[in-house]
Amino acid sequence: MIKKSLENALNEQINAEFHSAYIYLSMSSYFLSVGLGGYANWMRVQYQEELAHATRFFDYVNERGGRVKLSPIQEVQVDFTGIVDAFEKTLEHEQVVTGMIDHLMDLAIQESDHATKSFLQWFVDEQVEEEANVEQILNNLRLINGEGQGLLMMDREMQTRVFVNPFSAKA
């Protein structure tokens, strides 16, 4: 049975993951509206990843005998001043998520919940990758000032990203 403090914190994380999915789906819509289908695809894949994360947390809480309590999802931003702005906000958001995952890990350590520590390690590692990927895209966008042929070349590259559920073998 999972301790109540961890159950509550994991419930907050579940809702945060669904919120993240909404953020990325909103960004996908924004990119479609400005003719950047590749970036829209990249954000759509982010959306799918966040849903997979939320579902994995959902399953974990239930596996440990806890109860999932879903909350309303906050409204998300729908307009951006440009592609660099959208990716700056993406990086800021991923940094917030990293802090949340770190807090969960701290709580699992404090509660001596080794199962939750083990479960969370994948998410700790995932956040390192998430931030690095977004930083790389953002750095490239800044190099080209978010415009021109470089933007179109990056847009084509972003179109190739596909969603692979990292938890499908565990399902």
Where in the chain does DSSP place strands (E)?
Answer: none
Task: Look at residue 170 in the predicted model and tell me its pLDDT.
Answer: 55
- The pLDDT tens digits for 98-133 are 999 999 999 999 999 999 999 999 999 999 999 999
User: What is d(CA 151, CA 49) in angstroms, rounded to the nearest whole number?
Assistant: 24
Give all domains of the chain, ordered by start, each with its CATH number.
Answer: 4-158 (1.20.1260.10)
* Residue 171, CA distances (Å) to 52, 53, 95 in order: 11, 12, 28
- The model's pTM is 0.94
Render pLDDT for 32-91 as a digit per residue (tens, 0 to 9). 999 999 999 999 999 999 999 999 999 999 999 999 999 999 999 999 999 999 999 999
d(CA 150, CA 129): 24
Q: Does position 171 have pLDDT exceeding 80, yes or no?
A: no
**Which of 131, 97, 78 shows the shortest CA–CA distance to 18?**
97
- So what's the pLDDT on residue 60? 98
Q: Which residue has the higher pLDDT, 170 or 29?
A: 29
pLDDT value of position 168? 86
Determine the average pLDDT of the residues in 14-36.
98
